[in-house]
A = this chain, B = another copy of it.
Amino acid sequence: MAARSRPKIYLAGPEVFLPNAREIGEAKVALARAAGFEAVFPLDPSLEIAHLAKPEQARRIYDADVGLMNACDLAILNMTPFRGVSMDAGTAFEAGYMRAQGKPVFGYSNVAADLKARSLAWRQAAPALVDADRPDVVIEDFGLAENLMIAVAVRQSGGTVVSRRVARGAEMTDLEGFKACLAEARTVLRVGA
């Protein structure tokens, strides 16, 4: 990586939905910078889309995010479960998008329980929601933190999903797992080597 000293990270995760999203994004960008990277957080107030019709707003955000992904060299995924057993669906989409371009993806989850344990807990909680799960539907049992497509994508990038238990309520904001991903990325991309 001598020719390019600062690989560019796409910061994927549902924290874009937080009221203090910009603050979290700035904290992640600063940590990435201190670790030898550039980083982009896909929350761009300059889009100025509020006056547009909703489908057009969605399209502009999509195009902006895809443009950022195309310009980045790797991604770090916040894989913390979001409104269900699994990670945010948009973040999963972005993981696949980056991997198809051959770019490494690293990931962390601020919930320590693995996918199997979370899926079993889901059935016990039995929330009254329309959902395709049923008692006879297989639960993946590979000891992985997430659906194998994403967990193996992280492994084949040279990382491992960093799963940590954090204080209840800090699942979206705790950045220790993110720091561990930065350390993995430094090794794999030989940043500072």
Contact = CB atoms under 8 A, between A and B. Distances in A.
A182 B62 CA distance: 24
A61 B178 CA distance: 27
A17 B139 CA distance: 7
Count copies of this chain in the complex: 2
Interface stretch (A32-40, A127-135, A185-193): A127-135
Nearest to A85: B83
A58 interface: yes
Interface string A97-134: 11111000000001101000011011001011111111
Interface residues of A, number: 72
A149 B98 CA distance: 13
Nearest to A92: B92
Contact of A141 (B18, B54, B90, B95): B54
Interface of A: 14, 17-19, 54-55, 57-59, 61-62, 65, 80-90, 92-101, 110-111, 113, 118-119, 121-122, 125, 127-134, 136-144, 146-153, 155-156, 168-169, 171-172
7 contacts: A17-B139, A19-B136, A58-B144, A81-B130, A84-B84, A93-B93, A94-B96
